[in-house]
Structure 1
Amino acid sequence: MPKKVDHQERRTLIADALMRVAADQGLEAVSLRHVAAAAGVSAGMVQHYFRTKDEMMAFALSVVRERSQVRVTDAVARLGENPPPRLLLRTLLAALLPLDEHTRDDGRVALAFLAYTAVRPAAATGLREGTRQLTEFVAGVLPAGRGDAAAAGLLALMEGLGVYLLGGQYTAEQALGALDAHLDLLFGSSPA
């Protein structure tokens, strides 16, 4: 009797290997051969699940997004029902920042993917919708009258802080301090 194969599990194994390669060696090192070696499978198996590098990259980014969503959902759930808007946004954005080694690996992959999509706009299709939804959510939580531009600015700040964290220019404390200072501008000073 043939062995039953869990295709999603294999795709995730390959995506995890891709993320390790991208996080450790950079996106330029991502190839079918390198990913197969990191996953401990054949290049043919990688090609069976992902015909192109774009398909591999898109799946890896979806895994990063899922992990980020779990972090955000868990962090926000710990706030209880109806948290104050400023605390809700701070918690959400802090959960998306690469503040520790585990989240830095995901952050490196996400940053590599953003750079990848800068020269391959078709690969960014799914990103556009996620960005639109996040911007709308943040705009809805900001004080009245702030709107989409303030939400986009807050998200751009978060992305920039993420880059500085990944590059080692900022510590977690510095990044969170900058985030708090910007939230103070939007909401008024935070309680002591």
Structure 2
Amino acid sequence: MPKKVDRQERRTQIADALMRVAAQQGLEAVSLRHVAAEAGVSAGMVQHYFRTKDEMMTFAMDVVRDRNEARITAALGALGPAPEPRDLLRTFLVTVLPLGDESRADGRVALAFLAYKAVRPASAPALREETAQMVSFMAGLLPDGDEKAAAGLLALMEGLGMYLLGGQYTDAEALAALDAQLERLF
């Protein structure tokens, strides 16, 4: 009798291998062959679960997004039943920033995925929607609900993320810059 395989689990295993290849060698190194080798499966098996590289990339991006959302939800939930808006906002931003080695590896992959999506016009509506949701969430936590200030805070977070990934800022320097901006807003 053939072994029963969980399709979602196998697709996630392949997506994890894709992310390891992307983190170690860059997104340009991602191919069905390289991902299969990293996952320890045949290229034919990868093609069984993903017809194209774009399909595999889209699934992997969804896995990254879902994991980030779970990490954010857990961090915000750890604040307790009635946290202050400033604490919610800071926790959200700190959780998204690539602080620490593991988070930096995820951040490099997320940055590569963002660059991948940015040159695909079909991705633009989804990117706009994700950005609008983040700005709306952050504006709802600011004392005056200012969406422009929230957009600026999002830009600060993205810039700090780039500096962390590039090694220009240490974790402490990035957190100090973030805290200084939050102090201005609150």
Sort the TM-score into its range (normalised by shorter chain).
over 0.9
CA–CA distance in 1 between the matches of 2:33 and 2:106? 21
Query: Which AA in structure 1 matches 2:165?
Result: L
CA–CA distance in 2 between the matches of 1:88 and 1:5? 40
CA–CA distance in 2 between the matches of 1:87 and 1:145? 16
Q: Match for residue 110 of structure 2?
A: 110
Q: CA 1:126–1:119 in 2, change beyond 3 Å: closer, same or farther?
A: same
* Structure 2 residue 98 is the aligned partner of structure 1 residue 98: yes
Q: Match for residue 24 of structure 1?
A: 24
Render the CA deviation track for 1:131-168: whole Å, top value 9, x for unaligned.
2222111111111152x221111111111111111111
126-135 or 157-166, larger mean C-alpha shift: 126-135
Q: Match for residue 149 of structure 2?
A: 150
SS state at 2:82 partner? coil
SS state at 2:81 partner? coil
Q: How far is 1:129 from its partner?
A: 2.4
Q: Match for residue 167 of structure 2?
A: 168
Query: Which AA in structure 1 matches 2:18?
Result: L
Q: Match for residue 121 of structure 2?
A: 121
CA–CA distance in 2 between the matches of 1:32 and 1:109? 17
Q: Match for residue 3 of structure 2?
A: 3
Q: How far is 1:124 from its partner?
A: 4.7
Tell me, which stretches of 5 or more residues in structure 1 are unaligned? 188-192
Q: Match for residue 190 of structure 1?
A: none
* Structure 2 residue 177 is the aligned partner of structure 1 residue 178: yes
Query: Which AA in structure 1 matches 2:153?
Result: L
Q: Is the 8 A contact 2:139 2:145 kept in 1?
A: no
Q: How far is 1:120 from its partner?
A: 1.4
Tell me, which stretches of 5 or more residues in structure 2 are unaligned? none
Identity %: 72
Q: How far is 1:121 from its partner?
A: 2.5
72-81 or 167-176, larger mean C-alpha shift: 72-81
71-80 or 117-126, larger mean C-alpha shift: 117-126
Q: How far is 1:125 from its partner?
A: 4.5
Q: How far is 1:56 from its partner?
A: 1.6
Q: Is the 8 A contact 1:36 1:43 kept in 2?
A: yes
CA–CA distance in 1 between the matches of 2:98 and 2:121? 25
Matches for 1:8-87 after TM superposition, within 5 Å: 8-87=8-87
Query: Which AA in structure 1 matches 2:47?
Result: Q
Query: Which AA in structure 2 matches 1:186?
Result: L
Q: CA 1:35–1:125 in 2, change beyond 3 Å: closer, same or farther?
A: farther
Q: How far is 1:126 from its partner?
A: 3.4
Q: How far is 1:79 from its partner?
A: 1.0
CA–CA distance in 1 between the matches of 2:85 and 2:26? 37
SS state at 1:144 partner? coil
Query: Which AA in structure 1 matches 2:39?
Result: A
Query: Which AA in structure 2 matches 1:176?
Result: L
